[in-house]
């Protein structure tokens, strides 16, 4: 385990960030055929590993998340992205569990990705970074888990793209996963989701500051406008229509009557703010790499078109959760997953949480969801005698 300094300049405070990181000189063989070597996996842990090394819970983050799960984020200064879920006495109870979260392969918070140095080139990988898959991300996490001396994870938990990783873990390394909680996710990315991702990528590609992916040639330059538009469109898909309406309705900004200015509706300035803050913490080439990985994800296709085959003979216990107003990963896709798990005779419980908060609900204060996830993990731990 080493402390690695990010080799390239991040805007603002991140320039001096040092991430807790594991270094693997032999690297990682990828689905695309390339070998990434060396491999660094940046991560954070919370709680203590017990003597039997049996209480480890791996949390997998979503597209724009990172390893700063349950603590102040070093770039944004905001709280951890799953502080509602992870902490002492919380559903993922750090008094009982040893919680691990690593930055995904291809990410931009210390794990090997487009912003890190391309070996022997003295410059970032940029668009020369190979295409990665969700399964590649999971293979990198497996190296970290081995590095930490853990033979089996009590649980792997994650929402959205994190849930895709949970499914890959259970399908690819079933003997290492006692319990799996894929949340607000799907066994493949839908045509509509691919389409929205493509809009985001087109916006980045269209920004002249992207420079064919070589924006890092000019210190401090990022394709801010394109990345901001990508974030804006993605952000809409994270919220339900009801949530947007409740938050903003058609409220006007500082105007009691209709004026004919730009940025007249509150929802517009909110989205612009979401876009402009995002570019200070996320790398555009990482965004391209990771959205591609999501789009490639198709667990059934990896198993001859038979989703149930991905889980045949599994001993893993599953907890599947969806949210009623999530239109990015609708409940129907969780039902497809549950049907396949049932076909594979897996131990599975499924809950659709009634919520009007959309896809984002998995990150928010949803007591019913928290109680169900907490209960599932306690049950798994009790079963294992943790």
Binding-site residue numbers for substrate are: 231, 360
194, 221, 308, 309: residue in contact with its own copies (rule CB under 8 A): 194
- Residue 78 has, within 13 A of its CA and on its CB side, a CA count of 10
Under rule CB under 8 A, residue 248 binds its own copies: yes
At residue 57, the 3 state secondary structure works out as strand
Under rule CB under 8 A, residue 135 binds its own copies: no
The DSSP element (H or E) to which 93 belongs, if any, is strand 92-93
Shortest distance, position 184 Cβ to its own copies, whole Å: 16
Residue 90 tokens, joined: 């919380």
Under rule CB under 8 A, residue 272 binds its own copies: yes
Q: Which is nearer to its own copies, 1 or 255 (CB)?
A: 255
Window 17-36: contact mask with its own copies (x via CB under 8 A): ---------------x----
Under rule CB under 8 A, residue 368 binds its own copies: no
Name every residue whose Cβ is closer than 8 Å to that of residue 85 and which is 6 or more positions away in sequence: 91, 92, 370, 373
Cis, peptide link before residue 38, omega less than 30° from 0:
yes
Distance from C-alpha of 293 to C-alpha of 57, rounded to nearest angstrom: 23
Shortest distance, position 27 Cβ to its own copies, whole Å: 18
Shortest distance, position 170 Cβ to its own copies, whole Å: 21
Measured between its terminal Cα atoms, the distance across the chain in Å is 26
Under rule CB under 8 A, residue 245 binds its own copies: yes
Distance from C-alpha of 312 to C-alpha of 340, rounded to nearest angstrom: 9
Catalytic residues: 160, 326, 359
Residue 101 tokens, joined: 């979260």
The distance of Cα 119 from the centroid of its chain, to the nearest Å, equals 26
Under rule CB under 8 A, residue 130 binds its own copies: yes
40, 184, 275, 322: residue in contact with its own copies (rule CB under 8 A): 275
Question: What Rg, from alpha-carbon coordinates, does the chain have?
Answer: 20
Write a three-state SS string for 146-201.
HHCCCCCEEEEEEECHHHHHHHHHHHHCHHHEEEEEEECCCCECCHHHHHHHHHHH
Under rule CB under 8 A, residue 118 binds its own copies: no
Under rule CB under 8 A, residue 249 binds its own copies: yes
Q: Which is nearer to its own copies, 272 or 378 (CB)?
A: 272
Q: Which is nearer to its own copies, 66 or 302 (CB)?
A: 302
For its own copies (CB under 8 A), the number of binding residues is 48
95, 175, 217, 241: residue in contact with its own copies (rule CB under 8 A): 241
Q: Which is nearer to its own copies, 49 or 265 (CB)?
A: 265
Kind of pairing, strands 123-124 and 117-118?
antiparallel
Shortest distance, position 367 Cβ to its own copies, whole Å: 26
The number of beta carbons lying within 10 Å of the beta carbon of residue 189 is 24
**Per-position DSSP letters for 287-321, written without gaps between them:** HHHHHHHHHH-BTTGGGTT-GGGGGTT---EEEEE
Annotated binding-site positions: 231, 360
The residue to which tokens 């005779």 are assigned: 345
Under rule CB under 8 A, residue 225 binds its own copies: yes
Q: Which is nearer to its own copies, 95 or 218 (CB)?
A: 218
36, 140, 232, 320: residue in contact with its own copies (rule CB under 8 A): 232
Give yes or no for a contact between 329 and 185, defined as CB atoms under 8 angstroms apart.
Answer: yes
Query: 258: which DSSP letter?
Result: -
Site for its own copies in 287-306 (CB under 8 A): 295-296, 298, 301
137, 184, 203, 294: residue in contact with its own copies (rule CB under 8 A): 203
Q: Which is nearer to its own copies, 233 or 308 (CB)?
A: 233
Beta bridge partners of 21: 2, 42
Q: Which stretch binds its own copies (CB under 8 A): 176-184, 192-200, 308-316, 367-375?
A: 192-200
93, 207, 326, 360: residue in contact with its own copies (rule CB under 8 A): 207
Footprint of its own copies (CB under 8 A): 32, 130-131, 188-192, 194-196, 198-199, 202-203, 206-208, 225-226, 228-229, 232-233, 236, 239, 241, 244-245, 247-250, 258, 260, 264-265, 267-268, 271-272, 275, 295-296, 298, 301, 327, 330
């Amino acid at each position: 385990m080493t402390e690695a300094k990010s080799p390239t300049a991040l805007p603002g405070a991140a320039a001096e960030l040092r991430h807790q990181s594991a270094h693997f000189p032999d690297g990682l063989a990828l689905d695309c055929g390339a070998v990434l070597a060396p491999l660094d996996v940046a991560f954070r842990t919370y709680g203590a590993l017990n003597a039997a090394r049996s209480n480890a819970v791996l949390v997998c983050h979503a597209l724009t998340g990172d390893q700063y799960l349950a603590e102040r984020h070093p770039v944004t200064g905001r709280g951890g992205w799953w502080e509602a879920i992870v902490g002492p006495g919380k559903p993922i109870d750090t008094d009982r569990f040893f919680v691990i979260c690593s930055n995904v392969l291809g990410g931009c918070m210390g794990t090997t990705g487009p912003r890190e140095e391309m070996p022997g080139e003295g410059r970032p990988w940029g668009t020369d970074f190979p295409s990665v898959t969700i399964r590649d991300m999971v293979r990198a996490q497996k190296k970290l888990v081995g590095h930490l001396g853990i033979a089996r994870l009590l649980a792997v938990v994650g929402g959205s793209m994190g849930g895709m990783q949970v499914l890959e873990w259970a399908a690819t390394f079933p003997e290492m996963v006692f319990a799996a909680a894929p949340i607000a996710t799907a066994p493949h990315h839908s045509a509509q989701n691919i389409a929205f991702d493509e809009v985001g990528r087109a916006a980045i590609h269209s920004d002249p500051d992207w420079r064919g992916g070589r924006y890092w040639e000019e210190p401090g330059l990022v394709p801010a406008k394109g990345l901001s538009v990508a974030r804006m469109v993605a952000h809409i898909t994270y919220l339900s229509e009801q949530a947007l309406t409740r938050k903003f309705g058609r409220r006007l900004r500082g105007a009691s009557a209709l004026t004919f200015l730009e940025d007249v509706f509150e929802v517009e300035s909110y989205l612009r703010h979401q876009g402009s803050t995002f570019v200070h913490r996320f790398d555009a080439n990482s965004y391209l790499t990771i959205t591609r990985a999501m789009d490639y994800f198709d667990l059934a296709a990896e198993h001859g078109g038979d989703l149930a085959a991905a889980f045949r003979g599994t001993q893993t216990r599953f907890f599947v959760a969806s949210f009623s107003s999530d239109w990015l990963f609708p409940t129907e896709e969780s039902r497809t997953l549950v049907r396949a798990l049932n076909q594979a005779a897996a131990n599975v419980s499924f809950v659709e949480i009634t919520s009007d908060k959309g896809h984002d609900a998995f990150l928010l204060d949803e007591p019913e969801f928290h109680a169900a996830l907490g209960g599932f993990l306690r049950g798994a731990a009790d079963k294992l005698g943790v």
